[in-house]
Amino acid sequence: MEINKIAVMGAGAMGHGIAQLAAMAGFDVTMRDISEEFVEAGMKKIRWSIGKFIEKGKISPSEAQNTLKRIRPLVSLKEAVEGADFIIEAVPEKLKLKQQVFKEIDGYAPAHAILATNTSALPVTEIAAATNRPEKVIGMHFFNPPALMRLVEVVMGEKTSEDTRNVTIDLAKKLGKEPVLCKKDVPGFIANRITISGTNLVAWMVYKGEYTIEEVDAAAMYKAGMPMGTFALLDFTGLDIAYHVMMFMEEREPNFNVSPLIKEKMEKGEIGVKAGKGFYTYPEKGKWAMPQISKDKAEKFDPMIQTYAMANVAAELIRNDIATTEDIDKTLKLGFNMPIGVLELADTLGIDLIVSKLREIEAEYGEFYKPSPLLEEMIKKGELGTKTGKGFYPYKK
């Protein structure tokens, strides 16, 4: 299937970035939103972003001009999807809203068109059910900002066809991205399912008074060498985004419970930088400033605690044939700028150590953290990681 025209539904934070990305890759693009005001705001952000690309010498002024010419901003949904080969929805993360949009798109889009959702966690299968073409519906989760982040999660719904999968992976590559495949429609997919498990665990530990927010973040920065801590990152990306993914997982996963620490922050509207307050306070609302945390606070907390939980969830993704080892580590490195993949790190720490730590965590925080049967099996086989020459990856002894 040849793709010439791409339609993007939504001109907000993700939508305008995806439209810009597609136009820069040479595709004709329509970008649609519900009002002229929203559409123009999206175009303004695109013009600003392209200006930055010119400043940095990444594109020439003539290339920038041609990119802008390829984007057609619209309010009419019917007009936006007419003649489109591939449609990418990027409206707010509300299941009913996405289903409504997909139903409308399905009524106007050409029969051959593929319909993709940019959701980061909502069920592709349930979104597809609003259409008469579930085999042509797929998840295409871009990371923010889409023009810069290299990763795209391609997510299969229960009825998504192989052809739809192949076309979507090919398109991601044409957009200059590195796709990873989530073979089954599980809550959180690969990226959020893995990272949210560790974040929520640490939030429970803080809520129970085992550690302070500063102790957790200081350990991440000064012991693990991360650019920022768990709670600073939640502030930076927006606590509301993580919260909605967590709540969705709580609804769908019987053993997953969102930490009250997260819920209380949401109730207060303290969702991070954009609110001026989250786990830290920001003097200028909407402007990021790195929280100043003393190195002395780093001693108490083990920054690998999140890794134990994340490796466990990752092992279950492999065991259930949802994602490959390589795609899991690529997701963590490209999607979250981690210097090493979670499974590479697990091999370095030792699978036996991880299982031992998980048993302690399970005893305190519940069955969600029960060691994966895959990890138990690896221990029986002596596949403990780098120290035995084989773990998730083979090593030269």
**Annotated catalytic residue within 16, 89, 118, 153:** 153
Task: Give me the CATH number covering residue 148.
Answer: 3.40.50.720
Chain centroid to Cα 369, Å, comes to 21
Domain end marker among 155, 182, 209: 182
User: Does any domain span residue 395?
Assistant: no
How many domains are there within the chain?
3
- How high is the mean pLDDT of the chain? 95
- Specify the pairing of strand 28-32 against strand 137-142: unpaired
Residue 390 is given by DSSP the state: B
Residue 248 pLDDT > 80, yes or no?
Answer: yes
Co-location of 284 and 318 in the same domain: no
Q: Mean pLDDT throughout 266-275? A: 94
Taking residue 333's Cβ as centre, other Cβ atoms within 10 Å add up to 18
Task: Give me the CATH number covering residue 355.
Answer: 1.10.1040.10
Domain of residue 10, residue span: 5-182
**Annotated catalytic residue within 16, 89, 118, 120:** 120
Co-location of 152 and 177 in the same domain: yes
Q: Mean pLDDT throughout 36-46? A: 96
Q: Where are the alpha helices (DSSP H) in 208-324?
A: 213-222, 230-237, 239-252, 260-268, 305-319
Nearest to residue 306, comparing CAs of 346, 333, 265, 247? 346
Domain end marker among 182, 207, 240: 182
What is the side-by-side order of every strand in the sheet holding 5-9? 71-74, 28-32, 5-9, 86-89, 114-117, 137-142, 151-156, 178-182
Taking residue 62's Cβ as centre, other Cβ atoms within 10 Å add up to 8
Co-location of 15 and 148 in the same domain: yes
Residue 288 pLDDT > 80, yes or no?
Answer: yes
Co-location of 294 and 309 in the same domain: no
**Annotated catalytic residue within 141, 316, 344, 372:** 141
Output the pLDDT for position 202. Answer: 96
Co-location of 165 and 40 in the same domain: yes
Chain centroid to Cα 393, Å, comes to 24
Q: Mean pLDDT throughout 307-314? A: 96
Co-location of 259 and 290 in the same domain: yes
Residue 254 pLDDT > 80, yes or no?
Answer: yes
Does 141 qualify as catalytic in the annotation? yes
Are 231 and 297 spatial neighbours (Cβ–Cβ below 8 Å)?
no
- Specify the pairing of strand 137-142 against strand 151-156: antiparallel
Residue 377 is given by DSSP the state: H
- Which residues of the chain form beta strands (DSSP E)? 5-9, 28-32, 71-74, 86-89, 114-117, 137-142, 151-156, 178-182
Does 153 qualify as catalytic in the annotation? yes
Exposure string for 296-327, b = 16+ CB within 10 A, e = fewer: ebbeebebbbbbbbbbbbbbbbbeeebbebeb
pLDDT-based confidence at residue 380 (cuts at 50, 70, 90)? very high
285 versus 45: the higher-pLDDT residue is 45
Residue 127 pLDDT > 90, yes or no?
Answer: yes
Residue 241 pLDDT > 80, yes or no?
Answer: yes
Domain end marker among 182, 202, 237: 182
CA dist., res. 98 & res. 51, Å (int): 32
Co-location of 329 and 247 in the same domain: no
Output the pLDDT for position 1. Answer: 81
Co-location of 37 and 173 in the same domain: yes
Structure tokens at 305: 């605690």
User: Does any domain span residue 286?
Assistant: yes
Q: Mean pLDDT throughout 285-301? A: 91
Output the pLDDT for position 260. Answer: 97
pLDDT-based confidence at residue 245 (cuts at 50, 70, 90)? confident
Output the pLDDT for position 109. Answer: 97
User: Does any domain span residue 175?
Assistant: yes
Output the pLDDT for position 224. Answer: 86
Q: Mean pLDDT throughout 355-367? A: 96
User: Does any domain span residue 385?
Assistant: no
Largest separation between any pair of C-alpha atoms in the chain = 63
User: Does any domain span residue 392?
Assistant: no
User: Does any domain span residue 390?
Assistant: no
User: Does any domain span residue 393?
Assistant: no
With H, G, I as helix, E, B as strand and everything else as coil, classify residue 114.
Answer: strand
**Tokens 């619209």 belong to which residue?**
74
Co-location of 157 and 109 in the same domain: yes
Co-location of 36 and 152 in the same domain: yes
pLDDT-based confidence at residue 339 (cuts at 50, 70, 90)? confident
Co-location of 32 and 134 in the same domain: yes
Co-location of 310 and 373 in the same domain: yes
- Exposed, middle or buried by CB within 10 Å (0-12, 13-18, 19+), for 381? exposed
Most confident among 59-63, 141-145, 161-165, 272-276 (mean pLDDT): 161-165
Q: Mean pLDDT throughout 180-194? A: 94
Output the pLDDT for position 227. Answer: 83
